[in-house]
Amino acid sequence: MNIPKNPPSGADMASGADIVSGEEMAGAVQPWLPQNLEELKEFQLRLPERELCEPSPGGTSAQPEKASGMEVSSRMVAQHGEEQTRDLTFHIWEQMDMSEPRVQTRSLMVSELKIPEEYQNQRKEKPCHIQSWKNENFQQKFTQLLLLHRSQPRDYKFLFWEGKHEMVVEEQGHLIEIGDLFGPGLSTQNEPHTIILHGVAGIGKSTLARQVKREWEEGRLYRDRFQHVFYFNCRELDQFEEMSLRQLITKYCAGPTDPIGQVLSQPKQLLFILDNLDKSMWHLKGQNSQHCLHWNQPHQVPTLLGSLLKKTLLPEASLLITARITDLCKLIPSLKHPRWVEVLGFSESARKEYFYKYFTRESQANRAFSFVESDQALLTMCLMPLVSWLVCTCLKQQMEQRQQLSLTSHTTTALCLHYFFHVLQAQSLGTKLRDFCSLAAEGTWQGKILFGQGDLRKHGLDEAIIYTLLKMGVLQRHPTSLSYSFIHLCFQEFFAALSCALEKERARGLRKLTDMYEINSPFGIPTTCFLFGLLSEHGVREMENIFKCKLSRETDGELLQYAREELQRRNSSLPPYSWQLLHCLYEIQDEKFLRQMLTPFQRTRVYIQNDMELLMFTFFFKCDYVKSLHLNNGGQYRQAQMPFDVVLSSWVPFTDAWWKIFFSVLKVSGSLTELDLSGNFLSCSAVQSLCEVLKCLRRRLQTLRLASCGLTAEGCKDLACGMSARSTLINLDLSFNMLLDAGAKHIFQKLRESSCKLQQLLLVSCGLTSSCCQDLASMLSANSNLTQLDLQQNDLGDLGIRLLCDVLRQPTCQLRLLNLDQPQLSEEVTQILKTLEKEKPQLLIINKKGEHPSSNTGRNFCLSSPAPPRDLFMQLPDTKDGFLGPEGPVATEVVDKERSMYRVHFPEEGSYYWPNTGLRFVVKQSVTIEIEFCVWDQFLNKPDLQHSWMAAGPLFDIKAHPAAVEAVHLPHFVALQGGHVDVSLFQVAHFKKQELFLEKPAKVEPHYIVLKNPSFSPIGVLLRKIRAALYIPIRSNVLLYHHLHREEVAFHLYLIPDDCSIRKAIDDEEKNFQFARIHKPPPLIPLYMGSHYTVSGPEKMEIVPQELELCYRSPGKSQPFSDLCIGHLGSGIRLKMKDRKDKTVWEALVKSGDLRPAATPVPPDLIDNPTFSHFLDRHREQLVARVTSVDPVLDKLYGRVLSNEQYERVRAESTKPDQMRKLLSFSTSWDWTCKDQFYRALKETHPHLIMELLEKQEQRRLHGLCTSSAAEV
Sorted by where each starts, the structural domains of the chain and their CATH numbers stand as: 10-125 (1.10.533), 136-347 (3.40.50.300), 349-423 (no CATH), 628-847 (3.80.10.10), 883-1023 (2.60.220), 1035-1165 (2.60.40.2660), 1175-1272 (1.10.533.10)
Say which residue, 597 or 287, is predicted with more confidence: 597
Separation CA 1267–CA 1273 (nearest Å): 10
Whether the predicted pLDDT of 137 surpasses 70: no
Separation CA 993–CA 470 (nearest Å): 67
Separation CA 460–CA 429 (nearest Å): 12
> Does residue 1051 sit in helix, strand or coil?
strand
Whether the predicted pLDDT of 17 surpasses 70: no
Closest by Cα among 1253, 895, 1245, 1236 to 1071: 1236
pLDDT in tens, 589-643: 877 777 777 665 556 667 777 777 777 777 766 666 677 888 864 333 344 344 5
How many other C-beta atoms can be found within 10 angstroms of the C-beta atom of residue 1171?
Answer: 5
Whether the predicted pLDDT of 371 surpasses 90: yes
What's the alpha-carbon Rg for the chain, to the nearest Å?
38
pLDDT in tens, 1178-1210: 888 889 888 888 988 888 888 778 888 888 889
> Does residue 324 sit in helix, strand or coil?
strand
Q: Order of strands, edge to edge, in the sheet holding 146-150?
A: 174-176, 146-150, 338-345, 194-199, 318-324, 270-275, 228-233
Q: So what's the pLDDT on residue 866? A: 35
Q: So what's the pLDDT on residue 1199? A: 77
Q: So what's the pLDDT on residue 836? A: 87
Specify whether the CB–CB gap between 973 and 1036 falls below 8 A.
yes
Whether the predicted pLDDT of 60 surpasses 70: no
Closest by Cα among 402, 344, 420, 414 to 378: 414
Identify the band that residue 931 occupies on the pLDDT scale cut at 50, 70 and 90. very high
Whether the predicted pLDDT of 99 surpasses 50: no
Beta strands 646-650 and 604-608 are parallel
Specify whether the CB–CB gap between 1095 and 1135 falls below 8 A.
yes
Q: So what's the pLDDT on residue 1100? A: 86
Specify whether the CB–CB gap between 1032 and 1088 falls below 8 A.
yes
Identify the band that residue 58 occupies on the pLDDT scale cut at 50, 70 and 90. very low
Instruction: Give Cα separations from 404 to 368, 396, 746 (angstroms).
Output: 11, 11, 47
Separation CA 497–CA 74 (nearest Å): 44
Separation CA 862–CA 846 (nearest Å): 9
Beta strands 646-650 and 628-631 are parallel
One-letter amino acid identity for 1134?
Answer: R
Whether the predicted pLDDT of 142 surpasses 70: no
Residue 500 parent element (H or E): helix 489-502
Closest by Cα among 1104, 1082, 1206 to 1148: 1082
Residue 1176 parent element (H or E): helix 1175-1178
- Please list, residue by residue across 493-525, b when 16 or more beta carbons sit within 10 angstroms of its beta carbon and e when fewer do: bbbbbbbbbbeeebbebbebbbeebebebbbbb
One-letter amino acid identity for 696?
Answer: C
Separation CA 420–CA 425 (nearest Å): 6
Instruction: Give Cα separations from 180 to 218, 221, 309, 341 (angstroms).
Output: 18, 10, 21, 11
Cis before residue 907, ω within 30 degrees of 0? Answer: no
Q: What is the DSSP letter of 421?
A: I
506-517 and 489-502 helices cross at what angle (nearest 10)? Answer: 140
Residues in CB range of 739: below 8 A, 6 or more apart: 711, 712, 713, 716, 747, 763, 766, 767, 768
Separation CA 427–CA 547 (nearest Å): 8
pLDDT in tens, 379-423: 889 989 999 999 999 999 999 999 999 998 889 999 999 999 888
Percent share of the chain, pLDDT over 70: 70
Separation CA 159–CA 684 (nearest Å): 36
Q: What is the DSSP letter of 268?
A: G
Identify the band that residue 510 occupies on the pLDDT scale cut at 50, 70 and 90. low
Closest by Cα among 1198, 1232, 953, 1189 to 1070: 1232
Q: Which residues partner with 838 through β-bridges? A: none
Report CA 16 to chain centroid distance, whole Å.
Answer: 68
Decide: residue 189, CB within 10 A, 0-12 exposed, 13-18 middle, 19+ buried.
exposed
Whether the predicted pLDDT of 286 surpasses 60: no
pLDDT in tens, 61-72: 344 445 666 667
Whether the predicted pLDDT of 169 surpasses 60: no
Residues in CB range of 606: below 8 A, 6 or more apart: 574, 576, 577, 578, 579, 582, 617, 646, 647, 648, 649
How many other C-beta atoms can be found within 10 angstroms of the C-beta atom of residue 1213?
Answer: 15
Helices (H) and strands (E) in the chain, counts: 48, 44
